[in-house]
């Protein structure tokens, strides 16, 4: 999640746990603790893939943060023995720290909760990385807490409202998955890797991505859609032998560990050299994929893994017009936006119709 939200979450947790003993200082300290795990963005691991896959790593580990919370609790108990019990100090520091990665794990990116264990990043996406309503629930409680000085009461209320929002998001995702089941079965994708996640800034419109052997499928489903079955549009996904070449190097293996099966490979000439590029299909929005990495170059007819990966810039960003169409689609206007509207023509498959509405799909 964004830094403002994480600071607000830490502040609300701090105020709820230690508001009676520290007053508004608990809110300030909690905000600082809530942003602490994201300081790892300042670290440069020397490679584009390393920087992406190491983020939300050791600094988001429940083991590391619980250990740090325990040390801070012991120190605070020693310095201020009459202020609070060791248990309350421990809850204050540990909860303010660990709620950060736990919230991050409810987004798509992936959070290494069990670092240093060799476990894939945790990602149970029910909320977008920036969700104004979730953040406002926390901020509203914090403002009321600081103005009224009823710190514990209003911080707890903000936490309750934000948790209720997450539960509502989880329920919406479940309903979307139920609606998707017949469409997946019709495509023979019952057992295919599937990712269902909210679209930017809301929990009303959900994006479904399913991965097949040589293609992948995208669909947009709103909680306000009518009874029409969701439409999954197919796109080219270069696999073997490009996947074999991608996994031939340590960087490609690391990216596959991080992104799972939701990678698309293609070849692009860079400075006159044929270069294998991997795109993380999970992140961004159909047609707006910012995470593209070089993995190998073609030399004398053979793919050679690159020594240092480069993140290739995306050519497009979400414009105001696109966002307005997204809002209309979220409210149930099925003609407002298709998953295929912004995807490059070379990603499309011959013989397939790319329109989830009557007529021809539009481009921005």
**Residue range 315-338, pLDDT digits in tens:** 666 778 889 999 999 999 988 999
Mean pLDDT rounded to a whole number for the chain: 93
d(CA 50, CA 69): 27
pLDDT on residue 205: 97
* Residue 121 scores a pLDDT above 90: yes
Residue 351 vs residue 240, higher pLDDT: 351
Mean pLDDT check: name the lowest of 14-18, 109-113, 129-133, 338-342.
338-342
How many CB atoms sit inside 10 A of residue 89's CB?
Answer: 24
Whether 363 has a pLDDT exceeding 70, the answer reads no
Dihedral pair phi/psi, residue 169, rounded to 5°:
-65, -40
Closest CA to 252 of 233, 279, 288, 228: 279
pLDDT value of residue 298: 95
pLDDT at 226 over 90: no
pLDDT > 50? residue 361: no
The mean per-residue pLDDT over the stretch 75-91 comes to: 96
Alpha-carbon distance of 164 to 171, in angstroms, equals: 11
- Across residues 335-351, what is the average pLDDT? 90
CA distances from 182 to 42, 56, 176, 215 (A): 45, 35, 11, 19
- B/e letters for 195-210, b = 16+ CB within 10 Å, e = fewer, are bbbbbbbbbbbbbbbb
Write down the pLDDT at residue 136: 98
pTM for the predicted model, two decimal places: 0.94
**pLDDT, mean of residues 290-310:** 95
> Residue 306's pLDDT is what?
95
More confident residue, 363 or 229: 229
What pLDDT sits at residue 334? 87
Instruction: Note the pLDDT of residue 354.
Output: 81
Average pLDDT over residues 298-315: 91
- Which DSSP category does 46 fall into? S
Interval 9-55: pLDDT, tens? 999 999 999 999 999 999 999 999 999 999 999 999 989 999 999 99
Confidence at residue 360, expressed as pLDDT on a 0 to 100 scale: 43
Residue 357 is predicted with a pLDDT of 64
**By C-alpha distance, which of 184, 269, 191, 277 is closest to 231?**
184
Which residues, at least 6 apart from 225, have a Cβ–Cβ distance to it below 8 Å? 179, 332, 334
Neighbours of 161 (CB within 10 A): 17
Residue 61: per-residue pLDDT: 98
- Contact, 261 vs 193, CB < 8 A? yes
Geometric angle at alpha carbon 356, from 353 and 357, rounded to 5°: 110
Segment 188-224, tens digit of pLDDT: 999 999 999 999 999 999 999 999 888 999 999 999 9
What is the Cα–Cα distance from 211 to 246, expressed in whole angstroms? 17
d(CA 60, CA 38): 8
Averaged pLDDT, 342-350: 89
For the cut 50, the answer to whether the pLDDT of residue 362 exceeds it is no
Q: What is the CA radius of gyration of the chain?
A: 23
**CA angle centred on 197, ends 176 and 246, rounded to 5°:** 130
Q: What is the pLDDT of residues 232-272, one digit of tens each?
A: 999 998 777 899 999 999 999 999 999 999 999 999 999 99
- Closest listed residue to residue 338, CA positions, set 178, 352, 350: 352
Summarised one tens digit per residue, pLDDT across range 139-185 is: 999 999 999 989 999 999 999 999 999 999 999 999 999 999 999 99
Q: Is 307 buried (19+), middle (13-18) or exposed (0-12) by CB count in 10 A? A: exposed
């Amino acid at each position: 999640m964004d830094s403002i939200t994480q600071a607000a979450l830490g502040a609300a947790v701090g105020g709820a746990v230690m508001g009676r003993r520290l007053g508004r200082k608990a809110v300030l300290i909690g905000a600082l603790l809530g942003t602490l795990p994201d300081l790892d963005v300042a670290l440069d691991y020397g490679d584009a893939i390393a920087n992406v896959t190491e983020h939300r790593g050791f600094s988001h580990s429940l083991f590391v943060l619980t250990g740090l919370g325990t040390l801070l609790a012991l120190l605070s108990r020693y310095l201020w023995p009459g202020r609070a019990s060791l248990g309350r100090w421990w809850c204050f520091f540990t909860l303010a720290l660990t709620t950060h990665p736990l919230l991050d794990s409810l987004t798509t990116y992936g959070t290494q909760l069990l670092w240093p264990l060799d476990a894939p990043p945790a990602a149970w996406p029910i909320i977008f990385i920036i969700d104004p309503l979730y953040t406002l629930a926390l901020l509203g409680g914090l403002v009321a807490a600081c103005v009224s000085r009823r710190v514990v009461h209003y911080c707890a209320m903000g936490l309750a409202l934000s948790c209720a929002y997450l539960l509502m998001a989880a329920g919406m995702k479940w309903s979307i998955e139920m609606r998707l089941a017949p469409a997946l079965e019709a495509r023979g994708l019952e057992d295919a890797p599937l990712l269902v996640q909210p679209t930017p800034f809301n929990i009303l419109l959900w994006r479904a991505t399913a991965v097949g052997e040589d293609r992948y499928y995208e669909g947009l489903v709103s909680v306000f859609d009518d009874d029409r079955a969701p439409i999954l549009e197919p796109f080219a996904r270069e696999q073997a032998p490009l996947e074999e070449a991608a996994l031939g190097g340590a960087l490609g293996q690391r990216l596959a560990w991080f992104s799972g099966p939701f990678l698309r490979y293609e070849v692009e000439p860079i400075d006159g050299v044929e270069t294998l590029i991997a795109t993380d299909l999970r992140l961004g929005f159909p047609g707006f994929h910012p995470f593209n990495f070089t993995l190998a170059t073609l030399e004398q007819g053979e793919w050679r893994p690159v020594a240092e990966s480069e993140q290739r810039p995306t050519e497009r960003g979400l414009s105001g017009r696109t966002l307005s169409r997204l809002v209309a689609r979220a409210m149930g206007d099925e003609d407002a936006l298709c998953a295929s509207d912004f995807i490059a023509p070379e990603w499309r498959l011959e013989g397939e119709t790319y329109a989830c509405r009557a007529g021809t799909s539009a481009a921005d």
